[in-house]
Structure 1
Amino acid sequence: METELKLKVPADELERLRRHPMLHERALGEPVEHHLVDTYYDTPERALWKAGLTLRVRADNGRWIQTVKTAGDASGSLHRRGEWECALPDAQPRPDLVARQVKPAAMAELLRSAAIAADLAPLFQNTTHRTTWRIALADGQELECALDAGSIAAGAQQASIAELELELKEGDPAQLFRLALDLHHEVPLQLASDSKAARGYALLDAAPLRAHKAAPVRLRARMTLEQAFVAIGANCLAQLESNVPGVLKRDVESLHQMRVGLRRLRALVDMFDELVQPPAAVREGLDWLAGELGAARDWDVLAGSTLESIDGLDPAALRQAAQAKAEAHHRQLAQTLRAPHFTQVLLQVGGWLHGRAWRAGDALVKDSPLAAPAGRGMRPLLRKAEKRLDKRIDGLDTADAHARHRTRIAAKKARYAAEFFQDLLPAKRVKPYVGRLSKLQDKLGMLNDYAVADRLLDALKGSNAQVARQAAYARGYLAASTAARSSRLGKALASVAGRRVT
């Protein structure tokens, strides 16, 4: 099992990184240069890829090496994957030779299949110049640093390769993030969530851009509460990071899902605040990112949905003005996500989470609640979220926008808490509970959209006369709609008040 952190390097910074004093000072021996040609094989139906496997034959200085990797567990740019390899006499793939090393029985059987072997064909090829360093770590462990420059060719499609891979065979993953941060101070890096194989398949299939929703959190009954916390945090980080490419292309839904990933992560940190205290840099970084993502999303919602809910108005001029504001914020956001500070924040968060930096040493303190079984340790955390929601609902003045917003946040946190631990909760209780919270969240969310819209529309009143008239009408309509909808919240509030999922 390898643990690998992948980072993109600006093409014009490759040589500066290759000569970086830190790599040479920490290296065990001289760097090694390789010219690699990697050919990826699969069946026409993509049988291996669909099974979570990749098969590669590498030509390296006259030798052929066959490698099989699993998709593994990924937290955005950090990958943990099974990897098996063997030497070959020539460039012809022989998956059966690797199968005996593969432990998952279903994967081993697939690799041994004569039908699979007969249908294998080359799909795409990477040609890479690689420089590798063995880096000594303070604890006596080593990591491998590989700087790659080259290209991926899939049919008529091509993409450049300029990336840094930090690989740890065993030990503390925080070491990867620390080295990445040290290098990032000198050379601007960006996190990379896709492997070369994933990029090759994407080129081959011309996959359309898509936003990434939250994947289900998979928890095991024997996990400790700390292990559950790390698994949930990694899931949230993966959603956040996987949507960055879409946000850079100004995709509205990718921005929405990136914000969801960030909200889930911040809700998790808040949920565990009495057990796991993040450093100030981590908390401040998450708060900063929330502020950066919010403005563009607010204008997206106004232009894309809120204006459509207004009767008696053709909001074409108003929508155009709102879209212009949204596009300006998207352009600014793209610059923010390409800036060094964004990478620094994600590296700090990833190092803290995967390195379990809340520990005083290598182990938890004696009798730490984090060492308890997750199924038991989650209960006070869930009750805390439920009680907070009950407190917000109790005596809520539904006409008070601020109070509604606080209730909405409490409902969201209670829902996320239940979804985080759903594998350890009774399905017959968690599903209806989450459903009721989702309905309440939707109603309160629409009212919050109206409140945000009022503020944004007020900012447009200095535009041309037509936009100003439409903005005034829209604000009046939304105020009346808010009053009507607020008065009808009682049933949705009552459906969750006093409810428990534990």
Structure 2
Amino acid sequence: METELTLKVPPSALERVRSHPMLAERAKDDPREHHLTDTWYDTPERDLWKHGLSLRVRNDNDSWLQIARTASSLHRRGEWESALPGGQPQPELLARQVKPAELARLLADPGLAGRLEPVFLSSTRRTTWDIALPDGRQLGCALDAGDIACGDRHAQFSELELELERGDPAELFELALALHEDIPLELGGASLAARGYAMLTDEPAPAVKAERIRLGKHMTLEDAYRCIGLSCLRQIEANLPGVLRKDVESLHQMRVGLRRLRALVDMFEKLAAPPEAIREGLDWLSGELGAARDWDVLAGGTLDHVKGIDPAALRTAAQDKANALHKQLLHTLHAPRYTVLMLQLNGWLRGRQWRADGALPGKSPLAGRATRGLLPLLCKAEKRLARRIKALDPQDAPARHKVRIAAKKARYAAEFFHDLLPGKRTRRYTSRLSDLQDRLGTLNDFAVADRLLDGLAAGHGQVPRQASWVRGYLAAVGESGGQELAKPLKRLVKLRITRQR
């Protein structure tokens, strides 16, 4: 699979990219111009897209090409192509190249070609460069500007696509960072195929939950770290379109991906510490996302616990606060700092940039088997949780929150390495930690609500009166909930997955 990066380019900056001196200096030849017309095909039941595959026929200067692509990842996609004598797709020709057996069988189906129909098309002006890399390889660079059409609906696009077939992926992200210093670029997100299919259904993409992480028993700890980190990063990136639509659940899942990534970075702190710029960027993004999420939870969750009054006016005021922060968040996610952070993270993980001299020391735990190296990491998480539980005063809200964070990190650690741990025991362990998180999470929501409502309780009127009443109610319920934590916490002090292997 190739490594690919797509970056949005402001239409006003297209000529600046075409004439950028760095591309001119590093290109092997002069840029080439193409006019591409692509027609995407699928069955009436959308069988290809349901299998995560897109198929298009391209006309490029009167030559015909069919291209099949997977849609499994933002930066890693399978792509296969074959020449055609004319404009009709012949999917069986691609079936010989496709490695996933299920997709190969789908394309080889004798009846597929007869059921294919055009579903949408695009027209593109493309400028391409072959960028020379220091080791003699080359990186493909294409600037696309055009229009995608689905019936009478149209959408303009302008984006820069960088492709590396093999070699160090960090080269790709370093080039993007260098261009971003001069031109305001943003991560591209959804492919043209995904945008076309979204136009067909007029349905926004759903929020994306954490995927199951697949680890092999012979995998090194370094490979496991990279695999887990990229999974967390994919969850963050995949939820960006939803967050930009101000979707509450997409914001929640983007925060989950970010929390998982920060937990992983903390877990591997002594083995693969990221640069300070990445660490500061993660903290910054966490704060930006958290502000809007806190008001979402208050308006859409915490107030549902309140009995005795109907806090409708307060709910409206809280929702107004949430809406304002969602709007502010759009500026954050369009800001250059967000693009820089995502490019840095991709370069760090994909390019294994924790290697000081391009290789790991022989005695580094990262070079050993993950099945051995995971034990000290899990032990660290378990001991931290036990230590915080033993020192906890259940009525101390900040201390409860620290226990919740420790429980979350312990659960994430077990989930990260699930494939390398005893399945039944791991599920029981993570289930108990999840139950504790839920209890502590509700109490933390009450504590956060108290802080937020403090700003709404001043003055006169319905909202301040309801805010004061709700603060008192949640304080009483929270105190009772804290007293009920003693037994579940006591059971968890001795809970160890590392003792059960």
Normalising by structure 1, we get a TM-score of 0.96
Residues 388-440 of structure 1, C-alpha deviation per residue, up to 9 Å, x if partnerless? 11111114210111110110000000111111111111111111111111110
Separation in structure 2 between the aligned mates of residue 196 and residue 226 of structure 1, nearest angstrom: 33
| Mapped pair 1:301 → 2:297 | yes
Residues 284-325 of structure 1, C-alpha deviation per residue, up to 9 Å, x if partnerless? 100111111111111111111112211112212212221222
| Mapped pair 1:200 → 2:196 | yes
Gaps of 5+ in 2: none
Contact 1:436 1:492 in 2 (8 A): no
Match of 2:325 in 1: 329
Separation in structure 1 between the aligned mates of residue 467 and residue 47 of structure 2, nearest angstrom: 55
Runs of 4+ in 1 over 4 A off after TM superposition: none
Residues 350-378 of structure 1, C-alpha deviation per residue, up to 9 Å, x if partnerless? 11111111001222111211111112211
Q: Which aligned pairs between 1:128-167 and structure 2 lie closer than 5 A?
A: 128-167=124-163
Separation in structure 2 between the aligned mates of residue 208 and residue 463 of structure 1, nearest angstrom: 41
Residues 423-461 of structure 1, C-alpha deviation per residue, up to 9 Å, x if partnerless? 111111111111111110011011111111111111112
2:481 is matched by which residue type in structure 1? Answer: R
Match of 2:40 in 1: 40
Moved more, 341-350 or 259-268: 341-350
Separation in structure 2 between the aligned mates of residue 495 and residue 440 of structure 1, nearest angstrom: 11
Normalising by structure 2, we get a TM-score of 0.96
Q: Which aligned pairs between 1:38-117 and structure 2 lie closer than 5 A?
A: 38-72=38-72, 74=73, 77=74, 79-117=75-113
| Aligned with 2:364 (options 362, 365, 368) | 368
Contact 2:189 2:241 in 1 (8 A): no
Contact 1:157 1:204 in 2 (8 A): no
| Mapped pair 1:417 → 2:432 | no
1:346 is matched by which residue type in structure 2? Answer: M
| Aligned with 1:222 (options 181, 203, 218) | 218
Count, aligned residues: 498
Q: 1:463 deviation in Å?
A: 4.6
Match of 2:121 in 1: 125
Contact 2:198 2:205 in 1 (8 A): no
| Mapped pair 1:288 → 2:284 | yes
2:212 is matched by which residue type in structure 1? Answer: P
Inter-CA distance 452–115: structure 2 relative to 1 (3 Å threshold): same
Separation in structure 1 between the aligned mates of residue 216 and residue 50 of structure 2, nearest angstrom: 24
Contact 1:41 1:55 in 2 (8 A): yes
Moved more, 490-499 or 340-349: 490-499
2:102 is matched by which residue type in structure 1? Answer: A
Separation in structure 2 between the aligned mates of residue 404 and residue 475 of structure 1, nearest angstrom: 19
Q: Secondary structure at the match of 1:114?
A: coil
Q: 1:469 deviation in Å?
A: 1.6
Separation in structure 1 between the aligned mates of residue 197 and residue 248 of structure 2, nearest angstrom: 25
Moved more, 142-151 or 38-47: 38-47
Q: Secondary structure at the match of 1:135?
A: strand
Inter-CA distance 105–293: structure 2 relative to 1 (3 Å threshold): closer
Q: Secondary structure at the match of 2:69?
A: strand
Q: Secondary structure at the match of 1:64?
A: strand
Q: Which aligned pairs between 1:333-412 and structure 2 lie closer than 5 A?
A: 333-412=329-408
Separation in structure 1 between the aligned mates of residue 421 and residue 203 of structure 2, nearest angstrom: 36
Match of 2:170 in 1: 174
Match of 2:21 in 1: 21
Contact 1:439 1:492 in 2 (8 A): no
2:407 is matched by which residue type in structure 1? Answer: A
Contact 1:436 1:495 in 2 (8 A): no
